[in-house]
């Protein structure tokens, strides 16, 4: 039996086959889960193309996690696919305008762009969990993705602030959903050559940093390590772990200068 045998998992934000979310969907299926994937409406064609590489090809739904109407309709959207119980949800959703909120523009970013970054990358984590809560059974898992925001990073700017908010929101979500048997955790991955990373001006500098300092080394082209951490947290093997941030970054977070 696989780690997720018999479970149904919603994986959001599946884009290119290089994304962490795609790799999560692939490994979750390999571990026995029924996987449903989602993406924002304007990117849904990209998602459909990507998931053709999976066997079986999972169902794909449109979901903008910043749209209240779509979130309200989400339980019925899933029930229409025959989902009566959801065992886990993966939040792989983030956005900040690369021209105004990233790349060294921290002091010049207007509130509108900060608002978009916080709503998309932080608040949607809580909104998504609340939306699917009616489908959770006696136990369930919510897992999100972060890039360790306990420190500041060059170029990361307002996305770093949004991720810091996400990490705090995860702890509060764990506090309030724990009584319902819901575990809420984050995986902090090292830099990966995903579509999201390529949109960050100057982000290639992270590759050299990880190459020089990660004790276990780090492959920026392979999302497997991060995805396996997500799948492990979705499984029953962490029954008493919540409000946690698990690093899957080759150990760089533990090193000094």
Q: Helix (H, G, I), strand (E, B), or coil: what is residue 219?
A: coil
225: which 2 tokens?
């390590």
24-48 average pLDDT score: 97
174-184 average pLDDT score: 98
Residue 195 vs residue 251, higher pLDDT? 251
Residue 10's H or E segment, with its range, is strand 8-11
Burial class (CB in 10 A: 0-12, 13-18, 19+), 81: exposed
- pLDDT tens for 148-174 read 999 999 899 999 999 999 999 999 999
pLDDT at 200: 74
> Are 36 and 3 spatial neighbours (Cβ–Cβ below 8 Å)?
no
257 confidence band (pLDDT: 50, 70, 90)? low
* 230-239: burial string, b at 16+ Cβ within 10 Å, e else: bbbbbbeeee
> Are 91 and 142 spatial neighbours (Cβ–Cβ below 8 Å)?
yes
Give CA separation, 185 vs 8, 114, 133, 157, in Å.
18, 24, 16, 23
Residue 224 vs residue 194, higher pLDDT? 224
- Is the pLDDT score of 195 beyond 80? no
193 confidence band (pLDDT: 50, 70, 90)? confident
For the whole model, what pTM was predicted?
0.96
pLDDT at 197: 67
Q: Across all residues in the chain, what is the average pLDDT?
A: 95
What is the C-alpha separation between 224 and 231, in angstroms, rounded? 10
> Are 116 and 66 spatial neighbours (Cβ–Cβ below 8 Å)?
no
Upper half-sphere CA count for residue 156 (Cβ side, 13 Å)? 21
Above pLDDT 90, what percent of the chain? 90
Q: Going from the N-terminus, what domains does the chain have, and what CATH number goes with each? A: 8-249 (3.40.50.720)
Q: Which residues pair with 247 in a beta bridge?
A: 188
End-to-end, the C-alpha distance of the chain in Å comes to 43
Sign of CA dihedral 109, 110, 111, 117: negative
- Is the pLDDT score of 88 beyond 70? yes
Break the chain down into helix, strand, coil percent, rounded to 5.
45, 15, 40
8-24 average pLDDT score: 95
- Is the pLDDT score of 102 beyond 70? yes
């Amino acid at each position: 039996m696989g780690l997720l045998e018999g479970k149904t998992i919603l994986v959001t934000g599946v884009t290119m086959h290089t994304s962490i979310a795609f790799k999560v969907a692939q490994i979750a299926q390999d571990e026995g889960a029924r996987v449903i994937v989602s993406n924002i409406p304007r990117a849904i064609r990209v998602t459909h193309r990507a998931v053709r590489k999976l066997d079986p090809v999972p169902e794909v739904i449109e979901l903008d996690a910043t749209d209240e109407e779509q979130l309200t309709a989400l339980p019925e959207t899933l029930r229409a696919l025959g989902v009566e119980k959801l065992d886990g949800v993966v939040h792989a959703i983030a956005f900040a305008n690369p021209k105004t909120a990233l790349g060294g523009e921290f002091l010049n970013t207007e509130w509108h762009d900060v608002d978009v970054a916080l709503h998309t990358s932080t608040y949607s984590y809580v909104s998504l969990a609340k939306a699917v809560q009616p489908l959770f059974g006696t136990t369930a898992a919510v897992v999100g993705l972060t890039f360790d925001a306990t420190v500041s990073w060059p170029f990361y700017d307002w996305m770093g602030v949004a991720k810091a908010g996400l990490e705090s929101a995860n702890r509060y979500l764990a506090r309030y959903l724990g009584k319902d048997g819901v575990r809420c955790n984050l995986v902090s991955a090292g830099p990966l050559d995903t579509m999201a990373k390529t949109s960050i001006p100057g982000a290639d500098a992270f590759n050299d940093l990880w190459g020089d300092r990660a004790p276990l080394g780090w492959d920026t082209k392979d999302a497997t390590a991060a995805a396996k951490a997500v799948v492990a947290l979705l499984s029953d093997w962490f029954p008493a772990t919540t409000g946690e941030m698990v690093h899957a970054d080759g150990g760089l977070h533990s090193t000094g200068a």
